[in-house]
Amino acid sequence: MATTTTSSRPAAGRMAAVNEMTRLLRLLFEVEREFLRTVTTLVYRVGEPELKYLICTHAWESAGHGRFIRERGRELSSFGTHDNVRPEIRNVFEEAVGTNTDDPLVLTAGFYGVLKPALLAAYKHYLKVTDPLADWPSKKLVEEFILDEERHLREIEPYLKGVDARAWQSHLTQALDDLGGWLGNETRLPLAASFVWQHEQKPFSHPATCNRGKYPVCSGVFGFDPTEDPIVRPWLTDPNTDARVIRLMVYVWLMMEMDAIDYLATVFYDTPAAPFDLHFDLARHLWDESRHSQFGFRQLPKLGVDLMTVEHSLDLYNILVQMPPHERYALMTMEFEAGSFPTKAHVMDRVRELNDFEADTLLAFDRNDEQNHVRYGHRWLPEIMALFGETRPTEEFVKATQEKFKTFAEIYGGKTPHSLPKEKRLTGDKILKLAGVN
C-alpha cells in the first residue's frame, strides 16, 4: 500500500520568495501613497506657476504608481486589503512637510533631493533582487516607474538651482537612514540623541494665503466694472459681446483655476485615513485643474496679454482654508464646478464662432473634465463627510455649507488689495482693445 507523505515545510516557507517580493511591493505602495498625501502641501506654498503645475503632474503619476503596485500586490499573497501606511514611514513624510522651514524651495529640495532619490533607489533594489521571469509583471511596472522617477528629478532640477537646502536635506537623510532606506535594505543608522522631530514640536497647518510668486494678486477677477475687472460677468452671457472678447475672458477664467489647484491640494494632507482610491481621484482632479490653468497661462500671451498684468485671485483659497476639508470639497464639486456648466456652455458656443480649433478643443476638454469632477464629488463627498463625523444628508450638508461660505466670504474675502493700479492691470476695457473691438 502506497503511503502519502506530506512536507514538514510550513506553507509560509513554500511561498517565501513571493512573500518577500510582496513585502517590498507593500512598502513601495505605502511610500507612493504617502508621497502623494504630503508632496501636495508644496503646491500652494511654491509661487512659480510652472512649478505648481509640475508638482501636480508628479503627484498624479505617483498616484498611478501606487494604484498599479496595489493591483499587482493583490495578485500575490500577503499584500493585504487595507490602504494603511505604517507609522515609521508616515513619520518621515510628516517631517518632510516642514513646520519650521519657511522656504518652499528648501522643502521642495527635501522631497526631491532626499525622499525621491531614496524611492528611486528602492525601485532599483527591487529589480535587483526579484526574478525577472517569475516576477515579470512587477518587473515591467518597476522599470516604467524608474523612468518616471528619473524624469521627475530632471524636471525639478531647474527650479532648485541655487537653493541651499543642505541642512534640511541632512535632517531628512538622518530620519530616513534610521529606517535603513524605504525598504530597510540599507545599513540602519539610529538617530542621534540630539535629533528633534520638528513636526512633533509644531504640527503643520496650511498657510492663511497661497503663494503666487512674482505675479500680481487681488481678491477676485470676476466683477461688473470693465474699468476694474478682467472678467465682466454680464459680458460672458450677453449675445452682443464679441466672441473674441469672450475668448480672452474665458482664458483668464481658465488660468484662475490655479485657485482650484491651491485649495484642492490642501485636502490630501487633511485626510490621512481616506481610502487610497479617494486620493487617487483627488490626484486626477488636481492634475486636471493644473492643465486647465495652463490652458489660460499659455494661450493668453499668444493673444497679446502680458501675464504680469493679470492679477491672480486669492479669495477662494483664503476663504476655503478656514473651512474643514469636507466643506472645501463640497463647495468645489457641488457648487463651483456644478454651477459653472450653464455659463461655460454658452461661452463654448460663442467661441465656436471664431473657428478657433485650439480654443474649441481646450474648452471641450475642460468641460469633460469638470463633468468627471462632479461625479467624483457625488462618489466621495459622503465618505469625506464620514471621516469628519458629518451625519447630515448630503444635500442638507451642501446647502448648509453654501450658506456658511457666504458668511466666511464676508469675513475672510476681499482682503487682498490690487497689486497693480487699474491703469496697469488687465481689465475688461483693455480686453476690448486687445480683441480689436471698438
Q: Where are the beta strands (DSSP E) in 250-366?
A: 312-313
In whole angstroms, what is the distance from residue 349 CA to residue 34 CA? 42
Q: Which three cell numbers stand for residue 221?
A: 477677477
Angle at the Cα of 288 (from 283 to 290), degrees rounded to 5?
A: 95
Cβ 65 vs Cβ 145: under 8 Å:
yes
200-230 in b/e form (b: 16+ CB < 10 A) is eeeeeebbebbbbeebbbbbbbbbeebeebb
Task: Give the contacts of 103 (CB within 8 A, at least 6 positions apart).
Answer: 163
Instruction: Residue 54: name the closest of 154, 196, 178, 203 by CA.
Output: 154
Q: What is the pTM of this model?
A: 0.94
In whole angstroms, what is the distance from residue 211 CA to residue 206 CA? 12
Cα Rg of the chain, angstroms: 25
Instruction: Residue 248: name the closest of 118, 114, 356, 339 by CA.
Output: 356
Task: Give the contacts of 386 (CB within 8 A, at least 6 positions apart).
Answer: none
* Residue-level pLDDT, tens digit, the chain, 438 residues: 444 444 445 666 778 888 899 999 999 999 999 999 999 999 999 999 999 999 999 999 999 999 999 999 999 988 999 999 999 999 999 999 998 888 999 999 999 999 999 999 999 999 999 999 999 999 999 999 999 999 999 999 999 999 999 999 999 999 999 999 999 999 999 999 999 999 999 999 999 999 999 999 999 999 999 999 999 999 999 999 999 999 999 999 999 999 999 999 999 999 999 999 999 999 999 999 999 999 999 999 999 999 999 999 999 999 999 999 999 999 999 999 888 889 999 999 999 999 999 999 999 999 999 999 999 999 999 999 999 999 999 999 999 999 999 999 999 999 999 999 999 999 999 999 999 987
Q: Where do the structural domains in the chain lie, given as residue ranges? A: 17-192, 217-434
The helix/strand/coil state of 363 is helix
Topology at the third CATH level for domain 17-192 = Ferritin (1.20.1260)
Instruction: Residue 143: name the closest of 49, 206, 65 by CA.
Output: 65
Identify residue 28 by its one-letter amino acid code: L
Cα 423 to the chain's mean position, in Å?
Answer: 35
In whole angstroms, what is the distance from residue 394 CA to residue 385 CA? 8
Q: How many CA atoms lie within 13 A of 35 on its CB side?
A: 31
What is 411-434 written as a DSSP string? Answer: HHSS-S--SS-TTTS--HHHHHHH
Cβ 193 vs Cβ 288: under 8 Å:
no
